[in-house]
Structure 1
């Protein structure tokens, strides 16, 4: 999960969302299925809940075989996480060993046609730096393995990044990656461009607001525009748009245009903090869903549908950290919605 993204300038903070290529189809709005809890229903019940709410894409944080088998044959498209701890062996091994890893850990339990993305590591840069050197070699080996299987065009590889990899994000046109990460980011962006894959970022405006309320208004974070700011003639009235475009500008600053952005996590908690409530969670997530379904896009990329994975399917009572970390669930463990969010 994302930690607060610190702003360097006066007003607004940015912590981010998702884009996809120009299309007449609406952008998928998926959900994260986190399982750091001891009171969750079995995967079969979770899948019934997902299907009954017409959710078509799900992010799994690891390739748990029982969970993958439960999703098999449902038609639900998946983002599957490759755990951070698996990266050293994948990076240092051969393409054949990556092929074997895919076959044993993923393809043995679910059909390739249900896999949309592999997220190779989660929030490694800056936050879990031991694994940084292994990210790109792992992705390269996995890509060659997918290509050998004829799957490289349908299963896209990326890595889920913390929004804090931006050292500056205000105004959006000043978006820039942390200079300490510039070499590895350039290599990653080159891989994404070469393979037609998206940049994935975990974004939590909630943390930006709670950490910097003097600079970030609750209205700005929740899509309740009270003021409009202009940056290079583009109008911004919410953090969502501004953050996406800050990442777009940061990529362009490194010479990469047109790489889509996918928000691999975003959400708002219902309890555990003054700003955490079902009403605010509905305001935030409801706007995220509507913008994706209506292909609203951002000021810099208008009309580009936003693909996003909402965090989280259920509350996770074993999450570490502040109390609100346990309360991101859209649904209770009994299957009842925490608030009236519609996915279509």
Structure 2
């Protein structure tokens, strides 16, 4: 996570909905991220048991930690596994054979216990196009090589390959229908979007309405950032669509940007979102419970966004535990849904 700046026609719409639904997985279940930048983290087995106890069946790992992979897979948790940025240069140059070796060394290939059977997504790099773009030229070649390696293992139908982007990948997001990608990133994004469309993988984005509110409270009211739908949050009107939620507006700005590039059938997955409990006046357990509770509820009801109604969005909450080793502002260290002892940081149900 980073502190980031959001009849023929009917047939065409149906095709978009079908394509957007294809890769979202179980529409009723929300996922959760398991960051590892903490000094007092419970064991992988304890974390896996906590997820299972709370009915959470999907997790995102930021790197293929062998102990966590084995514990989570053994507990029946479906896995989104990150490929670290620093591996991209090798994976780009090594071809499918090198990517296959990497998958085996990372414990993600068949023969690695239960892990391969639980792997659902590879998130190749995290926010590669944000700020320092050193790894950007290597991103799409690495994705292609990993996909080819998965195909060689017979896993390409089970495991989708994508990359998680900061929401700043959008140069324009207001109103949502004006969504457009940053022109400087299009050289990488356009071949990536073709790859995602060809393989049925989602476009992954990390979005934090809390940070938008914290950075600009005058223009991003708290209720709008919390997705509360309260009358105090002046809705955003965009043609015939109305937005009372910054989360919906951000997702639909990404959808509009995809459509602008000719890839309106690519689904959107939110690979990080959440609300902290300390470190800022708006970072309270009550607000975290409200925001994350609404994320769980929208997944359970299978709701979409104003631009794609009825099309559920894959969502991963950040984070399982507080990460006291994270750099940056104080609130960065307080996104945990659970405490280290397994108790909830606030009242939230995943049932």
Taking structure 1 as the reference length, the TM-score comes to 0.93
- Would the aligned equivalents of 2:4 and 2:166 in 1 still touch at CA under 8 Å? no
Query: Gaps (5+ residues) in structure 2?
Result: 7-18
Partner of 1:40: 41
Question: Does residue 187 of the first structure (1) align with residue 195 of the second (2)?
Answer: no
Q: Give the one of 164, 174, 178 matched to 2:178.
A: 174
Match of 2:269, SS state, is strand
Question: Does residue 96 of the first structure (1) align with residue 97 of the second (2)?
Answer: yes
Alpha-carbon distance between aligned partners in 1 of 2:268 and 2:318, rounded to the nearest angstrom: 17
Q: What do you get for the CA RMSD once the two structures are aligned? A: 1.6
Alpha-carbon distance between aligned partners in 2 of 1:195 and 1:25, rounded to the nearest angstrom: 19
- Would the aligned equivalents of 2:49 and 2:75 in 1 still touch at CA under 8 Å? no
Structure of higher RCO (CA pairs closer than 8 Å, 6+ residues apart) = 1
Spell out structure 1 runs of 4+ moving beyond 6 A.
none
Post-superposition Cα deviations, 1:30-56, rounded to whole Å, max 9, x if no partner, equal 100111011111111111111000100
Match of 2:249, SS state, is helix
Taking structure 2 as the reference length, the TM-score comes to 0.91
Partner of 2:296: 289
Alpha-carbon distance between aligned partners in 1 of 2:25 and 2:155, rounded to the nearest angstrom: 25
Question: Does residue 272 of the first structure (1) align with residue 279 of the second (2)?
Answer: yes
- Would the aligned equivalents of 2:175 and 2:238 in 1 still touch at CA under 8 Å? yes
Post-superposition Cα deviations, 1:155-213, rounded to whole Å, max 9, x if no partner, equal 00000100001111000010011111112111111110000000000110011001011
Q: Give the C-alpha shift of residue 338 in structure 1.
A: 0.4
- Would the aligned equivalents of 1:4 and 1:211 in 2 still touch at CA under 8 Å? no
Question: Does residue 134 of the first structure (1) align with residue 138 of the second (2)?
Answer: yes
- Would the aligned equivalents of 1:20 and 1:304 in 2 still touch at CA under 8 Å? yes
Partner of 2:119: 115
Query: Gaps (5+ residues) in structure 1?
Result: 7-18
Closer/same/farther in 2, CA of residues 92 and 24 from structure 1, 3 Å limit:
closer
Alpha-carbon distance between aligned partners in 2 of 1:303 and 1:103, rounded to the nearest angstrom: 38
Post-superposition Cα deviations, 1:281-313, rounded to whole Å, max 9, x if no partner, equal 011101111111101111110011121000000
Question: Does residue 204 of the first structure (1) align with residue 208 of the second (2)?
Answer: yes
Alpha-carbon distance between aligned partners in 2 of 1:335 and 1:204, rounded to the nearest angstrom: 25
Partner of 2:335: 328
Q: Give the one of 153, 166, 183 matched to 1:149.
A: 153
Alpha-carbon distance between aligned partners in 1 of 2:267 and 2:305, rounded to the nearest angstrom: 12
Q: Give the one of 248, 251, 271 matched to 2:258.
A: 251
- Would the aligned equivalents of 2:165 and 2:205 in 1 still touch at CA under 8 Å? yes
Match of 1:291, SS state, is helix
Alpha-carbon distance between aligned partners in 2 of 1:336 and 1:83, rounded to the nearest angstrom: 30
Alpha-carbon distance between aligned partners in 2 of 1:40 and 1:310, rounded to the nearest angstrom: 17
Partner of 1:241: 248
